[in-house]
């Protein structure tokens, strides 16, 4: 039996390969494929009834995010409503409105046209009109449940219509079931006609041609050559614009196999709403799978944001580093990773590219516990972005101190900043950070036990923050010295103070550690006397 070899290439093609792999796994065709390094090898038999496999995997993957699913979830509630109660009637009216609006959307109307061509008997639009005229809520319920039963019984059409217009058309359009002239045709047949049949014919044909596929390099005839204009923000419509090609000869044709691979892109990305994220890796398909494997069946993507998933992908990557080492696969560990986001409103989407270098990944690994401690805070994403964009964390720390919010997370941010600075003295600098925090805590305790004026301390803290914000070491040390003198206390003489003065690059790091110590403890006796906080 002939085999098809599909090699990793650019990010979009790679996401298509991952999507194709997911389809074959989902329909239990794993015995018809194997992985060899950066190559996915499938037997031609894997394309038998592939249109069914494609639709099934789309539904299995995205069903719970669809309007169809929301409608079916309302069935039990509609059944249980006590419709003699006015409040229940209002709930019924809201549910009816939601379902009616769904049925009257262009996508569901087109779905019904598909079903009409299959000569179905029921007509939900007649029931909608009857509900409008009916005054008895129990009769209304019977009619509405008929509509729900119709929608539920034709899952493949209505659920796929939702997926087509909220997931698939984020990546490609204007062909197959997304062709305006074909949106009322059978979904499977349209996909089969545009993607599956040409691929099978291409495999079975013999050809003589000097045209090559720009993705895989295989020979194709002019008849077999596929354009790429149907890929959003990527393809060029060669029929309309040839000026971009050398001597006006277009050369962006792809073969039917690569065309099929590209159709699987929406399954390669992790989608949250209409936005998506994909981790690209050209080392191997096994690595590509691992770095995109954060999605679990129990995950509720409806409650996640794209940035939360982005952070989790990075965290997942960090955790896998040790596993790769244990498996003696460190040679396959990438020097960096490329994260691609598909973002924006439906009609204004774009790809965003984030290249995360190996040194950033090393910092993420070293600070994994600190980032874990930040996960539940509202500054997690800001701290992560600062690291990835090469920004210092001081503005974030300053903001937290000024707003007096999330003070407890500041130490984690300080440690992340320390690791970002690198050097050979990281452990020594951690000890100096602890010293400055302790000095701040000791002064805070002194003010409590000696019943000193708390406003005086607040003013001191405020001025120190201003000096740190301006990166003014002279002003900071002036405030520091005079304040202890005004209290009749000796100025701290720990190693950290010497480092703060002599090594300007650590001034703000240690200065903010001191201020954090001052702000860390509240003006309550039990907290002043209390033990250590559990933090990294």
Beta strands in 264-387 (DSSP E): 270-272, 275-280, 336-343, 350-357
Closest Cα partner for 515 from 398, 374, 393? 398
User: What's the pLDDT band for 321 if we cut at 50, 70, 90?
Assistant: low
pLDDT, position 523: 42
pLDDT at residue 13 is higher than 60:
yes
Strands 211-212 and 39-43: unpaired
Residues 6+ apart with CB under 8 A from 58: 160, 163, 167, 168, 266, 267
**Could you give phi then psi for residue 345, rounded to 5 degrees?**
-70, 165
Query: How much is the pTM?
Result: 0.78
- How many residues does this entry show for the chain? 536
Strands 33-36 and 350-357: unpaired
pLDDT at residue 434 is higher than 90:
yes
User: What's the pLDDT band for 319 if we cut at 50, 70, 90?
Assistant: low
- State the average pLDDT for the chain: 87
pLDDT digits (tens, 9 = 90+) for 152-170: 999 999 999 999 999 999 9
CA–CA gap between residue 532 and residue 100 (Å, rounded)? 59
Above pLDDT 90, what percent of the chain?
Answer: 61
Residue 120: half-sphere exposure toward Cβ, Cα within 13 Å: 14
pLDDT at residue 323 is higher than 60:
no
pLDDT at residue 32 is higher than 90:
yes
CA–CA gap between residue 434 and residue 429 (Å, rounded)? 9
User: What's the pLDDT band for 249 if we cut at 50, 70, 90?
Assistant: very low
Residues 257 and 4 sit within 8 Å (Cβ to Cβ): yes
Tell me how far apart the 2 most distant CA atoms of the chain are, in Å: 95
151: three-class secondary structure by DSSP: helix
pLDDT digits (tens, 9 = 90+) for 383-431: 988 998 889 999 999 999 998 878 889 999 999 999 999 877 889 999 9
Number of neighbours of residue 441 by Cβ within 10 angstroms: 18
User: What's the pLDDT band for 535 if we cut at 50, 70, 90?
Assistant: very low
pLDDT, position 317: 66
Q: Phi-psi category of 248—alpha, beta or left, where left has phi over 0 and alpha has psi -120 to 50?
A: left
pLDDT digits (tens, 9 = 90+) for 77-108: 999 999 999 999 999 999 999 999 999 999 99
């Amino acid at each position: 039996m002939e085999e098809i070899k599909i090699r990793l290439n650019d990010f979009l093609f790679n996401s298509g390969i991952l999507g194709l792999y997911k389809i074959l796994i989902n329909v239990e065709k794993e015995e018809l494929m194997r992985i060899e390094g950066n190559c996915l090898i499938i037997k031609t038999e894997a394309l038998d009834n592939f249109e069914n496999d494609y639709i099934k995997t789309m539904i299995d993957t995205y069903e719970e995010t669809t309007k169809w699913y929301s409608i079916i979830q309302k069935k039990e509630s509609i059944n249980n409503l006590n419709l003699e109660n006015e409040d229940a009637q209002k709930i019924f009216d809201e549910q009816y409105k939601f379902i009616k609006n769904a049925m009257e959307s262009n996508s569901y109307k087109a779905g019904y046209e598909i079903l009409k061509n299959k000569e179905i008997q029921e007509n939900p639009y007649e029931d909608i009109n009857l509900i409008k005229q009916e005054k008895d809520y129990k009769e209304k319920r019977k009619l509405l449940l008929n509509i729900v039963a119709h929608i539920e019984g034709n899952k493949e059409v209505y659920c796929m219509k939702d997926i087509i217009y909220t997931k698939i058309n984020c990546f490609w359009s204007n062909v197959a079931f997304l062709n305006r002239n074909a949106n009322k045709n059978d979904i499977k047949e349209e996909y089969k006609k545009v993607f599956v049949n040409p691929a099978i014919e291409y495999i079975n044909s013999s050809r003589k041609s000097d045209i090559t596929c720009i993705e895989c390099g295989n020979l194709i005839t002019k008849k077999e050559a596929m354009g790429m204009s149907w890929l959003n923000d990527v393809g060029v419509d060669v029929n309309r614009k040839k000026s971009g090609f050398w001597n006006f000869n277009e050369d962006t044709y792809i073969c039917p196999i690569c065309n099929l691979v590209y159709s699987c892109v929406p399954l390669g990305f992790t989608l949250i709403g209409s936005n998506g994220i994909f981790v690209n890796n050209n080392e191997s398909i096994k690595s590509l799978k691992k770095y995109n494997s954060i999605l679990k069946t129990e995950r509720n993507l409806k409650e996640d944001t794209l940035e939360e998933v982005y952070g989790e992908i990075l965290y997942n990557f960090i955790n896998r580093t040790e596993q790769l080492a244990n498996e003696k696969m460190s040679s396959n560990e990438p020097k960096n990773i490329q994260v691609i986001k598909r973002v924006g409103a439906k009609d204004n989407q774009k790809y965003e590219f984030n290249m995360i270098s190996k040194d950033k990944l090393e910092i993420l690994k070293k600070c994994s516990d600190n980032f874990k401690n930040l996960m539940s805070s509202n500054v997690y994403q800001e701290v992560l972005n600062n690291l990835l964009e090469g920004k210092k964390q001081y503005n974030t720390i300053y903001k937290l101190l000024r707003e007096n919010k999330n003070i407890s997370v500041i130490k984690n941010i300080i440690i992340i900043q320390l690791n970002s600075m690198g050097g050979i003295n990281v452990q020594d600098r951690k000890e100096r950070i602890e010293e400055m925090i302790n000095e701040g805590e000791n002064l805070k305790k002194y003010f409590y036990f000696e019943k000193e004026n708390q406003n005086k301390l607040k003013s001191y803290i405020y001025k120190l923050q201003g000096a740190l914000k301006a990166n003014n070491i002279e002003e900071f040390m002036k405030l520091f010295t005079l304040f202890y003198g005004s209290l009749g206390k000796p100025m701290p003489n720990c190693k950290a103070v010497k480092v703060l003065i002599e090594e300007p690059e650590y001034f703000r790091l240690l200065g903010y550690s001191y201020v954090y110590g001052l702000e860390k403890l509240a003006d309550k006796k039990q907290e002043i006397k209390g033990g250590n906080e559990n933090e990294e």
